């Protein structure tokens, strides 16, 4: 080889290629023996942040497996940055008690972890974000991930991950898609290690550092859990029909219509009714977005929509559709809901149907706390979808468990009323006063439009229990709006009774 100068004008100092260091790159594998080896290889240390995603929902086993390994290694003061926490993650409480975990950042908490947080388990307040706000915090560096652990339904030895194969196929991987772009290290945890290359890559190998095979990443059966359980009750059906009537009357249900619903029974009923109306009127919509269910898949297959924009499959019909239909597209949390991307998918949704634990006179919505102030959820995509959609419908019955759900002031503001257009209940429809145009349309369509205060009064009459005043204790959780500002806080609950000992099942 030629002798090279030490420096080249206009280029700079020269580091010469050394023939001796050349030769084949060699075949390497990222596969490590177990989670302990991965934790060591990542150099995780006290105070670091580990991230998880919730595509297996209440069937996820990866967060618990990793936490056991982190505790075994003796790590302390870790931050858990999980896109959502479910009842299956109850063991996290013990890791908080032991000091392995001292901070939690997440978009949704249901089950024992929420109860423990509300009782003051953690010294530092939990940070509750929206899905879009979490993506923004990650992309902007406000939330830094040291190691992202990705529950991988299938992976190969070079780190390619698929959500479409394996015993626990979960479909799209919208949440880790955002994490792997920013995490210092990424570990794929899989129960289906396949020969290279995975034939349907959802996260590519260059974003993944290590691969660990475990017996089970969880239980696919847990995907359709929590908010995705359908129901046949007549009240849900009635509210769904009303919500569909509101959409039809709004003027938005026309060629190119775009639609988002959650996976609760009212959402599913609304989607059914909207689909019926589209079929009857010969309307071809553009896309459905968000978490995707079999109901959306049916609408795609019957030609009512052209494509599905799927951040997370909410049931196994959706998983099967994503496996076989290219019109069923994955999107990352950032593309779905980020307020920082110059236009997210939620910003192009015509109508979204959202649920509520409570709604107040100002149309503020609480999906974070129960009537007693205990954390039972969080925004997820709620605040994002409300802010983005041209028509944001919040649906709820007047009361639940004896408590009024339409109230003068919500116990916690998750989604500001300025982003909510209409409230649909089993006792009438209330339109946000700033949407007088919408109220006119609904009245012309003969829909039962009433003032929200009237609904609140009716709810108060039907209620058999009175919500306690907001807790006044220490702040145990901070709700960040999607832009990172603080929209509300959750305070510690002072319980009357002693906490009960749980008997292991």
> Judged by CB, which is closer to a copy of itself: 10, or 282?
10
Our finding on whether 407 is near a copy of itself (CB under 8 A) is no
> Judged by CB, which is closer to a copy of itself: 63, or 334?
334
C-alpha closest to that of 370 among 384, 383, 358: 358
Our finding on whether 201 is near a copy of itself (CB under 8 A) is yes
34, 206, 231, 302: which one binds a copy of itself (CB under 8 A)? 206
The DSSP code sequence of 318-342 is HHHHHHH-TTEEE--HHHHH-TTSS
C-alpha closest to that of 32 among 24, 40, 20: 40
Our finding on whether 413 is near a copy of itself (CB under 8 A) is yes
52, 257, 287, 403: which one binds a copy of itself (CB under 8 A)? 287
107, 332, 399, 414: which one binds a copy of itself (CB under 8 A)? 332
59, 111, 133, 159: which one binds a copy of itself (CB under 8 A)? 159
> Judged by CB, which is closer to a copy of itself: 60, or 156?
156
The DSSP code sequence of 197-223 is SPSS-SB-GGG--EEEE-S-SB-GGGS
Distant-in-sequence, close-in-space partners of 220: CB < 8 Å, separation ≥ 6: 56, 59, 167, 168, 169, 170, 316, 319
74, 195, 234, 504: which one binds a copy of itself (CB under 8 A)? 195
Our finding on whether 361 is near a copy of itself (CB under 8 A) is no
- Residue 385 CA to residue 289 CA, distance in Å, equals 10
What is the crossing angle of helices 294-301 and 316-324, to 10°?
40
Our finding on whether 26 is near a copy of itself (CB under 8 A) is yes
Neighbour-count burial of 323, counting CB atoms closer than 10 A to its CB (0-12 exposed, 13-18 middle, 19+ buried):
middle
Neighbouring C-beta atoms of residue 21, cutoff 10 Å: 6
Our finding on whether 109 is near a copy of itself (CB under 8 A) is no
Binding mask 362-381 for a copy of itself (x = CB under 8 A): --x-----------------
Give the pair of three-digit tokens for residue 119.
């009782």
Length of the chain: 505
Distant-in-sequence, close-in-space partners of 466: CB < 8 Å, separation ≥ 6: 403
Least spacing, CB of residue 78 vs a copy of itself, in Å: 15
> Judged by CB, which is closer to a copy of itself: 79, or 396?
79
Distant-in-sequence, close-in-space partners of 145: CB < 8 Å, separation ≥ 6: 49, 50, 51, 81, 138, 179, 182, 183, 184
Our finding on whether 270 is near a copy of itself (CB under 8 A) is no
* Choices 79-87, 156-164, 372-380, 455-463; region in contact with a copy of itself by CB under 8 A: 156-164
- Residue 95 CA to residue 97 CA, distance in Å, equals 5
Least spacing, CB of residue 219 vs a copy of itself, in Å: 27
Residues numbered 110 to 139 that lie near a copy of itself (CB under 8 A) are 123-125, 127
Our finding on whether 163 is near a copy of itself (CB under 8 A) is no
> Judged by CB, which is closer to a copy of itself: 87, or 484?
484
Our finding on whether 194 is near a copy of itself (CB under 8 A) is no
Residues numbered 289 to 308 that lie near a copy of itself (CB under 8 A) are 306-307
> Judged by CB, which is closer to a copy of itself: 16, or 231?
16
> Judged by CB, which is closer to a copy of itself: 18, or 496?
18
- Would strands 101-106 and 78-82 be described as parallel, antiparallel, or unpaired? parallel
- Residue 278 CA to residue 247 CA, distance in Å, equals 11
Residues numbered 431 to 490 that lie near a copy of itself (CB under 8 A) are 470, 475, 478, 481, 483-489
181, 184, 241, 272: which one binds a copy of itself (CB under 8 A)? 181
Least spacing, CB of residue 100 vs a copy of itself, in Å: 17
- Would strands 7-8 and 12-13 be described as parallel, antiparallel, or unpaired? antiparallel
Our finding on whether 78 is near a copy of itself (CB under 8 A) is no
- Residue 224 CA to residue 365 CA, distance in Å, equals 24
> Judged by CB, which is closer to a copy of itself: 326, or 505?
326
């Amino acid at each position: 080889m030629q002798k090279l100068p030490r420096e080249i004008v206009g280029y700079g100092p020269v580091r010469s290629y050394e023939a001796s260091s050349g030769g084949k790159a060699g075949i390497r594998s990222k596969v490590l023996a177990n989670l302990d080896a991965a934790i060591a290889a990542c150099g995780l240390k006290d105070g670091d942040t580990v991230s998880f995603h919730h595509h297996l929902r209440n069937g996820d086993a990866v967060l618990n497996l990793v936490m056991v390994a982190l505790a075994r290694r003796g790590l302390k003061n870790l931050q858990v940055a999980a896109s959502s926490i479910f009842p299956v993650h109850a063991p996290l409480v013990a890791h908080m008690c032991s000091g392995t975990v001292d901070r939690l950042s997440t978009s949704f908490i249901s089950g024992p972890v929420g109860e423990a947080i509300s009782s003051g388990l953690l010294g530092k307040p939990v940070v509750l974000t929206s899905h879009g706000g979490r993506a923004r915090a990650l992309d902007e560096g406000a939330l830094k991930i040291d190691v992202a652990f990705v529950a991988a339904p299938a992976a190969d030895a070079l780190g390619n991950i698929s959500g479409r194969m394996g015993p626990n196929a979960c479909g799209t991987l919208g949440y880790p898609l955002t994490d792997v772009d920013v995490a210092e290290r990424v570990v794929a945890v899989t129960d289906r290690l396949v020969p290279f290359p995975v034939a349907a890559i959802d996260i590519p190998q260059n974003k993944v550092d290590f691969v660990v095979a475990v017996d089970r990443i969880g239980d696919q059966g847990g995907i359709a859990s929590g908010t995705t359980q359908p129901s046949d009750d007549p009240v849900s059906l009635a509210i769904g029909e009303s919500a569909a009537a509101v959409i039809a009357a709004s003027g938005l249900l026309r060629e190119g219509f775009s639609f988002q619903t959650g996976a609760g029974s009212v959402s599913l009923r609304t989607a059914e009714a909207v689909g019926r109306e589209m079929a009857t009127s010969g309307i071809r919509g553009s896309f459905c977005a968000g978490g995707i269910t079999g109901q959306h898949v049916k609408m795609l297959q019957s030609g009512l929509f052209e494509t599905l924009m799927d951040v997370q499959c909410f049931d196994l019909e959706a998983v099967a559709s994503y496996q076989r239909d290219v019109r069923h597209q994955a999107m990352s949390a950032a593309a779905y809901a980020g307020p920082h991307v110059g236009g997210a998918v939620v910003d192009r949704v015509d109508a979204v149907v959202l649920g509520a634990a409570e709604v107040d006179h100002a149309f503020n919505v609480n999906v974070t706390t129960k009537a007693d102030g205990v954390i039972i959820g969080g925004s997820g995509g709620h605040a994002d979808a409300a802010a983005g959609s041209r028509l944001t419908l919040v649906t709820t019955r007047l009361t639940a468990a004896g408590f009024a759900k339409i109230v003068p002031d919500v116990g916690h503001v998750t989604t500001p009323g300025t982003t909510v257009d209409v409230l649909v209940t089993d006792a009438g429809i209330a339109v946000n006063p700033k949407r007088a145009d919408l109220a006119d349309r609904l009245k012309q369509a003969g829909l039962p439009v009433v003032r929200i205060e009237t609904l609140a009064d009716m709810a108060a009459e039907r209620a058999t229990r009175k919500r306690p005043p907001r807790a006044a204790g220490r702040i145990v959780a901070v709700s960040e709006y999607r832009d990172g500002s603080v929209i509300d806080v959750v305070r510690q609950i002072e319980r009357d009774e002693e906490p009960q000992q749980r008997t292991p099942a």
